[in-house]
Every structure is written in structure tokens, then in C-alpha cells.
């Protein structure tokens, strides 16, 4: 069934089709309409879930941690300050190995206040032990949610599905909605290996001494490494059933490219257009979209950037005192490779500023013109 859906409606359909059983959230722009859509599906009796509107994002995550521990399939959504408030609980969810799926609508953090798109909120949660998947369009949003449950429940690691504020959350696109029966076959009901069960009592998350704690962390790291393989498999299976796949990364017009632009989220769509125009003019440029941020797809990034002279990374985020976060990850992935491209790091589009085709062209032109970047971080699209 094809429908015109906003990104947030696509989220609600994804959660509905995945048959989430407990949903809990607190309102925050630009996430709120996700919960409204889910509340409506629930109130109409279409979505058979328990729905809670709690008193803060911290409680939203805490309550679905509880629900997940007894074996329910759970969902929450948030954004920006709400995600920051959840921080403590994010570590807890991952440490407790709960397959929670959450959507974060990328929005800038205060101060000063800003409600528009910026990835620093989710990227700041880098070390919480969550898988992070970034989406380019509303179809990918819906499909990724279904895949996210499959991945999370296989490796027992929570998954954050991320979409850009307004550019996706509030923008309508045509979306193919999979048939419920097909999704049910693809994603069977959640059957946890361990759960809080009065008939089979266990203790969970107690104090562990230095003799044991490190092994708990090691197991999370192992599960994260497994998650890359599992995510590939899940995407492959999804593609077979629904004829749509995304990969951990996606290359676009990269054959014999001398320069590759690296993007995430909606900037990718605009970049596809710019790259294809430059290709028609005979420039050997390509595009690499990064979908998975955690675990970082190091091997895939290395394979795609091998033999390329220059790499230009666009970051709609900033790690103060360091630079663009994806650029840092890419540099780290390439640093011990023998022949490696020169990486250029560009920061732009913060707080919802448009990343237009001309900004992208400027990034590519700068990278073509210079052998090396003049600065560690190049800011593009600054006010006069």
C-alpha cells in the first residue's frame, strides 16, 4: 500500500507493523507527532499496545526498560534535550542488554534554544552502547524500524533509529507500507532468552565486583561486532522480501572516483543530485552514505575509500575542541591503512541551516582545489 507520509508518520507505521507492546514517551518538538500518531492508533484499537505518557524522558526510558525486562517489545521516541535527559537510562538499557528500539529526531541542543536539525544530540550518545542507524528518507525510516527490532532482538543491544528534524519528521513523501502479514513473517514475536519471570526467578543487574564487571563490558563489545554482521544479514533478508535494502553504507557513482563525498541523513539526497550533475560534466566524484554509526562500519568504509585520493566529509554536528564527528570516525578508520586518502572535514548545517546544492558544490570544489585542507575543520555556509 502506498501512502503519503511524514517521517514521523512513517515511524508510527513502522512501530505499528513491528507490533510494539509497550510504548512510553514525553512530548518534545519535533518528535511529538510520532507519539500522537501512535496514541491514535492505540486509542482506535488498531495498535494493541500499552501506551504511557510519563512525566519526563528519563521516566519514558525507565518505564520501557521495565517493560522490556519482562519480555515486551518496546518503543519510545525523543529528541535533543529529551535524549540528553535520558542519558543515564541509555547506558542502563544497553548494560541490561535490552532490545529496545527508540527513534531520535535529530534536533539541536541548547543553549541557545533551537528546535531544528542537528546531529549532535544523538552523536553525543556515542558511548552508551546503543546501535545507531541514520536515515535518508521516510521510506528508509519505516523500513529501518522493522529491521531495528530484528537486529536488537538478535544481538540483545538497543537500537536508536535517527532522522532529521523537519527535513524528514515533518515532510511528506510517498512511502510503500509493507503488508502486516509479510512483516509478521519477517519479524516474529519477541521471545527473550532471559526475562523477569515469577515462574523462573532470577536476579538482574546486581552489583558486580571488579572481578566480573570487565567481562560484562567485553560481551557488549562482542555483541556490537556481531551486530554489524547481523545488520547486513537482516538488511539482505529484508531486501529479498520487500525489494528494498540499504546496507551499513551505500556507495553512489563511486566507480573510478578520485574524490568521494561522505554524508549522512538527508544531506545525502541533495548530494546525490550534485554528484550526478558533476559526473555528467566528467568529474570523477562519488558519494558514500553512512547509515550505521555504532557499531562503526570500519571495514566497509576502508573498502569503499581504498584507492581514492581525497575524501570530503560533511558533518551536521560538532564535537567542540575536535571537529566533525563522522570525519573523526573516518580518519580513525583510515589512519593505519598504508595508502590512504586525504580527508577533508567540513562542518555546516548546524541548528537547521540549509545545506543547499551550492554548499555541497563549494565543499567539493574546495576539496578539488586543495591538496590538503588548510585547517583541521572547515566551516562552510557561515554568515557574511
Partner 1 sequence: MREITKLIHKYLRHDKKFPHVWCPGCGNGIILGALIRAIDRLGFTKDEIVLVSGIGCSGRLPVYVDFNTLHTTHGRALAFATGIKLAKPELTVIVIMGDGDAMAIGGNHFIHAARRNVDLTAIIFNNSIYGMTGGQYSPTTPYGMRASTAPYMNIEHDFKISELAVTAGAVFVGRGTVYHARLLDSLIEKALLKKGFGIVEVITHCHVQYGRQNKLGSAVDMMKWQRDNAISVEKAEKLSPEEKRGKIIIGVLVDRELPVYQDEYERIKERAKVSTVRGR
Using CB under 8 A as the binding rule, whether residue 221 contacts partner 1 is answered as: no
How far apart, in whole angstroms, are the C-alpha atoms of residue 48 and residue 207? Answer: 36
The answer to the question of residue 76 lying near partner 1 (CB under 8 A) is no
Residues numbered 94-123 forming contacts with partner 1, rule: CB under 8 A = 110, 113
Q: Are 314 and 269 in contact (CB under 8 A)?
A: no
- Judged by CB under 8 A, does residue 60 bind partner 1? no
Stretch that binds partner 1, among 28-36, 283-291, 336-344, 358-366 (CB under 8 A): 28-36
Q: Phi/psi at 256 (nearest 5 deg)?
A: 55, 30
Q: Which stretch binds partner 1 (CB under 8 A): 50-58, 70-78, 118-126, 164-172?
A: 50-58
What is the nearest approach in angstroms of partner 1 to the Cβ of residue 88? 15
3 state SS of 198: coil
Of the candidate residues 81, 154, 171, 319, the single one contacting partner 1 (CB under 8 A): 81
Q: Which is nearer to partner 1, 29 or 361 (CB)?
A: 29
Q: Is residue 361 part of the contact set for partner 1 (CB under 8 A)? A: no
Q: If DSSP codes are grouped into helix, strand and coil, which group holds residue 202?
A: coil
Smallest distance, partner 1 to C-beta of residue 115, A? 10
Q: Which of 33, 147, 263, 264 touches partner 1 by CB under 8 A? A: 33
By C-beta, is 79 or 144 nearer to partner 1? 79
The CB-of-351 to partner 1 minimum distance in angstroms stands at 16
Among 10, 11, 12, 28, binds partner 1 (CB under 8 A): 28
Q: End-to-end alpha-carbon separation of the chain, Å?
A: 47
Q: Cα–Cα distance between 43 and 49 in angstroms, integer? A: 10
Residue number, 9 or 132, with CB nearest to partner 1:
9
Q: How far apart are CA 99 and CA 227, in angstroms?
A: 12
CA proximity to 270, closest of 167, 343, 345? 167
Q: Which residues pair with 105 in a beta bridge?
A: 163
Q: Please state the closest distance from residue 209 (CB atom) to partner 1, in A.
A: 32
**Which is nearer to partner 1, 110 or 188 (by Cβ)?**
110
Which strand ranges, in their side-by-side order, compose the sheet holding 259-263? 249-252, 285-290, 259-263, 310-315, 342-347, 378-379
DSSP alpha helices (H): ranges in the chain? 7-17, 32-43, 57-69, 80-95, 120-123, 138-155, 180-186, 213-242, 267-280, 298-305, 325-334, 357-369
6 touches partner 1 (CB under 8 A) = no
Q: Which stretch binds partner 1 (CB under 8 A): 33-41, 187-195, 342-350, 360-368?
A: 33-41
Q: How far is CA 56 from CA 32, 62, 161, 172, 239, in A?
A: 13, 10, 20, 29, 37
List CB contacts of 208: < 8 A, sequence separation 6 or more. Answer: 216
Considering only 35, 152, 249, 350, the residue that binds partner 1 (CB under 8 A) is: 35
Binding-site size for partner 1 (CB under 8 A) equals 21
Rule CB under 8 A: is residue 46 a binding residue for partner 1? no
Binding site for partner 1 (CB under 8 A): 26-29, 32-33, 35-36, 39-40, 43-44, 51, 53, 55-57, 81, 85, 110, 113
Amino acid at each position: 500500500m502506498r501512502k503519503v507520509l511524514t517521517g514521523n508518520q512513517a515511524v508510527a507505521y513502522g512501530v505499528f507493523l513491528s507490533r510494539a507492546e509497550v510504548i512510553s514517551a514525553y512530548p518534545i518538538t519535533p518528535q511529538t507527532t510520532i507519539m500522537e500518531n501512535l496514541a491514535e492508533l492505540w486509542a482506535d484499537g488498531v495498535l494493541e499496545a500499552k501506551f504511557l505518557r510519563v512525566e519526563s524522558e528519563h521516566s519514558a526510558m525507565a518505564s520501557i526498560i521495565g517493560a522490556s525486562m519482562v519480555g515486551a517489545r518496546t518503543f519510545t521516541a525523543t529528541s535533543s534535550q529529551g535524549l540528553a535527559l535520558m542519558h543515564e537510562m541509555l547506558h542502563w538499557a544497553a548494560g541490561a542488554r535490552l532490545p529496545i528500539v527508540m527513534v531520535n529526531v535529530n534536533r539541536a541542543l541548547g543553549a541557545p534554544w533551537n528546535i531544528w536539525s542537528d546531529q549532535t544530540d544523538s552523536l553525543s550518545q556515542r558511548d552508551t552502547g546503543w546501535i545507531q542507524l541514520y536515515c535518508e528518507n521516510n521510506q528508509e525510516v519505516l523500513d529501518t524500524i522493522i529491521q531495528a527490532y530484528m537486529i536488537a532482538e538478535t544481538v540483545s543491544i538497543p537500537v536508536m533509529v535517527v532522522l532529521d528534524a523537519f527535513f524528514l519528521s515533518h515532510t511528506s513523501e510517498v512511502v510503500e507500507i509493507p503488508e502486516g502479514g509479510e512483516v509478521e513473517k519477517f519479524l516474529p514475536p519477541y521471545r527473550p532468552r532471559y526475562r523477569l519471570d515469577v515462574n523462573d526467578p532470577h536476579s538482574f543487574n546486581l552489583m558486580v565486583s571488579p572481578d566480573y564487571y570487565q567481562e560484562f563490558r567485553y560481551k557488549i563489545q562482542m555483541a556490537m561486532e556481531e551486530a554489524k554482521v547481523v545488520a547486513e544479514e537482516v538488511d539482505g533478508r529484508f531486501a529479498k522480501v520487500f525489494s528494498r535494502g540499504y546496507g551499513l553504507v551505500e556507495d553512489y557513482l563511486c566507480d573510478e572516483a578520485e574524490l568521494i563525498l561522505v554524508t549522512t541523513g538527508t544531506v545525502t539526497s541533495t548530494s546525490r543530485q550534485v554528484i550526478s550533475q558533476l559526473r555528467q560534466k566528467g568529474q570523477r566524484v562519488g558519494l558514500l552514505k553512512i547509515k550505521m554509526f555504532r557499531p562503526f562500519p570500519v571495514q566497509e568504509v576502508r573498502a569503499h575509500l581504498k584507492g581514492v585520493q581525497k575524501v570530503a566529509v560533511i558533518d551536521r554536528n560538532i564535537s567542540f575542541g575536535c571537529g566533525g564527528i563522522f570525519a573523526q570516525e573516518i580518519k580513525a578508520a583510515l589512519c593505519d591503512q598504508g595508502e590512504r586518502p586525504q580527508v577533508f572535514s567540513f562542518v555546516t548545517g548546524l541548528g537547521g541551516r540549509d545545506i543547499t546544492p551550492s554548499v555541497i558544490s563549494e565543499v567539493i570544489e574546495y576539496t578539488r582545489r586543495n591538496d590538503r585542507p588548510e585547517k583541521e575543520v572547515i566551516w562552510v555556509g557561515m554568515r557574511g
